[in-house]
Chains A and B, each alone.
Chain A
Amino acid sequence: MKSLEIKGLNIDFKKRNSFISVVQGLDLDILESEIVGIAGESGSGKTVSTLALADLLPEGNSRISYKSYKIKSNNVDRKQIPYFRGRLISYIFQDPIPSLDPMFTIRYQLKEILKVGSRKEVDDKMIDKLLLDVGLKDRERVLSSYPHQLSGGMAQRVAIAFALGSNSKILVADEPTTALDAHIKKGILDLLKKIRDQRGLSIFFISHDLEQTFYIADRVYIFYAGSVVEYAKSSVIKEKPLHPYTRALLDCIPKRGVDELKQIRGKSPDFGDLPKGCLFYPRCTFAMDICQKKRPPLIEVKKGHFLRCFKEKI
């Protein structure tokens, strides 16, 4: 069953006195206990669209609209969405240490969150169990520490414990491994997988690293400039990426034994001045005439494999 489904999400940001559109007509869904990867470069709208799921974008400077928002196939009114924060959807952020309040100990903050999540008295057993679940062994030390006293990996585990403590059904992990050292990234990924298996949590895994995304996710959305350009089962995309942008991203992953590092030419488009045709057209190596004139629709090229490109069709 679909845990969450949103259709036709539009997000505009205020720039000076006009609004510019940063996410256009996005459809996103996640099944129960599924890990959905969201990949794309910086500024492609990954974070913005997932923050919009709990109405967390700065008020006054942004505008959100959508066709439908469903939780377990029930339509949800816009006003109810802030109520989901921490109860239905919780978040882990890229940099774990700044996302913890520097003034208070971990114990204090964890208790605060558990109180929001459970509305019951919080005892030490609950805290211990949570820390055990996220694989923190030296529990006393962690609990009495201030955020700056923790290492990045530990802090990220604490942040995951916070997210679990709020007892929500959907976890948005926004680049949870980006700020960490390379050798502990896998530990965090495995932990997320374990949590999914044990608790039946649905996880949105946001990353610009396709390898990590393929490793953890069941399904992958590829974002480019505020819209989905390709999505399918992660094994499918891994085997046979169809969109030129997906291929270009995959080419950028450094490989052992290959000295040359690659990058995608050009830069992602300015949201105030989007190309008329395909958004990726100016940077695409397979560009055709039609790409300049018309924006390609998102079509199902094979079963469960969606693509926004003219090339496969023609």
Chain B
Amino acid sequence: MKELFRHRRGLIAVIILFFLYLGAIFAGFISPYHYRSEKRILSYAPPSKINFFDSKGDFHFRPFIYKYKMSLDQNRRRVYEEDKSRAYPIELFIRGDNYKLLGLFPADIHLFGVAAEAKLYLFGADSRGRDLLSRIIYGGRVSLSIGLIAVVITFFIGLIVGGTAGYFGGKIDNILMRLCEMVMLVPGFYLLLALRSSFPPEIGTVKIYFLIITILSFIGWASLARVIRGIVLGLREKEYILAARSVGLSSFKIITKHILPNTSSYTIIALTLSIPSYILGESALSLLGLGIQDPVPSWGNLLKDAMAIVQIKLHPWILIPGLFIFLAVVAFNMLGDALRDIYDPKRKII
């Protein structure tokens, strides 16, 4: 752990991930609005301007915003201006939409916000006038947790299959590895689509959530099992395994207590490095409308609006969720690289 904090890129990654997960866990508290809260008149409102100087040029310590004023131009396109008649200061711990803290405790205190008449849209609004920032923070709950859970399931299957194949060898090895190859043979993304399409498109959000996890882990375990098998083949010949056999430990105990723990320096790294692919997998499914369905946000389906190039041109802020995917993916990759540097001194480059 200490070494991780001394590793510069590792430290950056840990900090980024810490804030991302903190946001996902306390989404209700940190986001100024509920993800469902909408104001259709403010469709595609641009990000709120945060002011420190009022119209008279006086400085205010507490930043404030103005209300949006919507009008239509000659092309009947919405134009937003600031209504400077009244300033709305940004307040901390303000009462707002109801939510449940950690999904348990009803609450309505938000970290920051403005009085209810005005709307604080730091990242702008989406097509239905919902706060993009709040939706991104809520979306992290789905996108960041799917990666973690899917990776745990993948590793569970991968370790058992790889460990068994590597330790016993022979026929068992042959059968299990051919099975892995059959899964790997199909290009990942098409398998993802095919598996998803074997279930009805309109099912509950929770069901879809677990469906995506299952599909993602079904695709991922094979390549991991193959690598684990390779490592176990090497570990099997180690003297301490012979020693463990010579004191009469059962094969099951040898695999679970002595072989698999010794693969951990590899597995921890591989685990970290494979989380991004799960996040991207979920995003891709949701982007195509096969994953998490609106109104529940995920980073993938938030990008759905951005599929039309004209929307990006007119409202560039709808690309911000992509930035969060990018951040999470880069952070996990950096963390994985840092862990590799720390755990595997032979391959150290620095």
A211 within 8 A of partner (CB): no
Query: Which of A82-90, A200-208, A225-233 lines the interface with chain B?
Result: A82-90
- Shortest C-beta distance, B59 to chain A (Å), equals 61
Asked whether, in the complex, the Cβ of A85 is within 8 Å of the Cβ of B262, the reply is no
Asked whether, in the complex, the Cβ of B242 is within 8 Å of the Cβ of A93, the reply is yes
Interface string of B242-276 (1 = CB under 8 A from A): 11111111000000011001101000000000000
Asked whether, in the complex, the Cβ of B248 is within 8 Å of the Cβ of A99, the reply is no
Number of A-B residue pairs, CB cutoff 8 Å, is 63
The residues in A between 115 and 135 inclusive whose CB is less than 8 angstroms from any CB of B are: 116-117
Asked whether, in the complex, the Cβ of A112 is within 8 Å of the Cβ of B246, the reply is no
- Shortest C-beta distance, A221 to chain B (Å), equals 21
Contact of B243 among A60, A100, A102, A103 (CB under 8 A): A100
Specify the chain A residue showing the minimal Cβ separation from B260: A103
B240 within 8 A of partner (CB): yes
Which B residues touch A104, using CB under 8 A? 261
Asked whether, in the complex, the Cβ of A86 is within 8 Å of the Cβ of B248, the reply is yes
- Shortest C-beta distance, A119 to chain B (Å), equals 11
Specify the chain A residue showing the minimal Cβ separation from B264: A103
Contact of B248 among A59, A60, A85 (CB under 8 A): A85
Asked whether, in the complex, the Cβ of A85 is within 8 Å of the Cβ of B245, the reply is yes
A85 to B240, CA, bound (A): 14
Interface string of B166-205 (1 = CB under 8 A from A): 0001100000000000000000000000000000000000
Q: Given A95-B239, A99-B242, verify A116-B249 contact (CB < 8 Å).
A: yes
B100 within 8 A of partner (CB): no
Could you say which of A101, A103, A159 has the most chain B C-beta atoms within 10 Å of its C-beta? A101
A93 to B245, CA, bound (A): 12
A102 to B241, CA, bound (A): 11
- Shortest C-beta distance, B8 to chain A (Å), equals 28
A166 within 8 A of partner (CB): yes
Interface of B is mostly: helix
Specify the chain B residue showing the minimal Cβ separation from A96: B239
Specify the chain B residue showing the minimal Cβ separation from A89: B246
Of the four ranges (under 10, 10 to 19, 20 to 34, 35 or more), the interface on chain A belongs to: 20 to 34
Asked whether, in the complex, the Cβ of A54 is within 8 Å of the Cβ of B246, the reply is yes
Asked whether, in the complex, the Cβ of B257 is within 8 Å of the Cβ of A99, the reply is no
Asked whether, in the complex, the Cβ of B239 is within 8 Å of the Cβ of A99, the reply is yes
Asked whether, in the complex, the Cβ of B247 is within 8 Å of the Cβ of A103, the reply is no
Specify the chain A residue showing the minimal Cβ separation from B253: A112
Asked whether, in the complex, the Cβ of B170 is within 8 Å of the Cβ of A93, the reply is no
Contact of A99 among B169, B170, B243, B264 (CB under 8 A): B243
A90 to B248, CA, bound (A): 9
B238 within 8 A of partner (CB): yes
Q: Given A93-B239, A93-B242, A95-B239, verify A101-B247 contact (CB < 8 Å).
A: no
The residues in A between 164 and 203 inclusive whose CB is less than 8 angstroms from any CB of B are: 166
Specify the chain A residue showing the minimal Cβ separation from B245: A56
Which A residues touch B242, using CB under 8 A? 56, 91, 93, 99
Asked whether, in the complex, the Cβ of B247 is within 8 Å of the Cβ of A116, the reply is yes
Which A residues touch B257, using CB under 8 A? 112
Asked whether, in the complex, the Cβ of A98 is within 8 Å of the Cβ of B246, the reply is no
A113 within 8 A of partner (CB): yes
Which A residues touch B246, using CB under 8 A? 54, 56, 85-86, 89-91
Which A residues touch B258, using CB under 8 A? 101, 103
A306 within 8 A of partner (CB): no
Specify the chain A residue showing the minimal Cβ separation from B169: A60
A91 to B244, CA, bound (A): 10
Asked whether, in the complex, the Cβ of A91 is within 8 Å of the Cβ of B262, the reply is no
Interface string of A59-94 (1 = CB under 8 A from B): 110000000000000000000001111110111010
Contact of B262 among A93, A103, A166 (CB under 8 A): A103
Specify the chain A residue showing the minimal Cβ separation from B237: A58
- Shortest C-beta distance, B344 to chain A (Å), equals 14
Which A residues touch B247, using CB under 8 A? 85-86, 90, 113, 116-117, 162-163, 166
- Shortest C-beta distance, B101 to chain A (Å), equals 39
Which B residues touch A93, using CB under 8 A? 239, 242-243
Q: Given A86-B246, A116-B247, verify A98-B261 contact (CB < 8 Å).
A: no
A95 to B239, CA, bound (A): 8
Which B residues touch A54, using CB under 8 A? 246
A59 to B245, CA, bound (A): 12
- Shortest C-beta distance, A168 to chain B (Å), equals 9
Which A residues touch B262, using CB under 8 A? 101-103
Specify the chain B residue showing the minimal Cβ separation from A54: B246
Specify the chain B residue showing the minimal Cβ separation from A83: B248
Which B residues touch A116, using CB under 8 A? 247-249
- Shortest C-beta distance, A126 to chain B (Å), equals 16
Which B residues touch A56, using CB under 8 A? 242, 245-246
A109 to B245, CA, bound (A): 13
- Shortest C-beta distance, B104 to chain A (Å), equals 38
A102 to B264, CA, bound (A): 12
- Shortest C-beta distance, B45 to chain A (Å), equals 56
Asked whether, in the complex, the Cβ of A103 is within 8 Å of the Cβ of B261, the reply is yes
A-B contact pairs, 19 of them (CB 8 A): A54-B246, A56-B242, A56-B246, A59-B170, A60-B169, A90-B246, A93-B242, A95-B239, A98-B239, A98-B240, A101-B240, A103-B261, A112-B257, A113-B247, A116-B247, A162-B247, A163-B247, A166-B247, A166-B248
Residue ranges of A at the interface with B (Cβ–Cβ < 8 Å): 54, 56, 59-60, 82-87, 89-91, 93, 95, 98-104, 112-113, 116-117, 159, 162-163, 166
The 4 nearest A-B residue pairs measured at CB: A86-B248, A86-B247, A85-B248, A99-B239
Q: Known pairs A99-B240, A99-B243, A163-B247; list 10 more (Cβ under 8 Å).
A: A56-B245, A85-B245, A86-B248, A87-B248, A93-B242, A99-B239, A103-B261, A103-B262, A112-B257, A162-B243
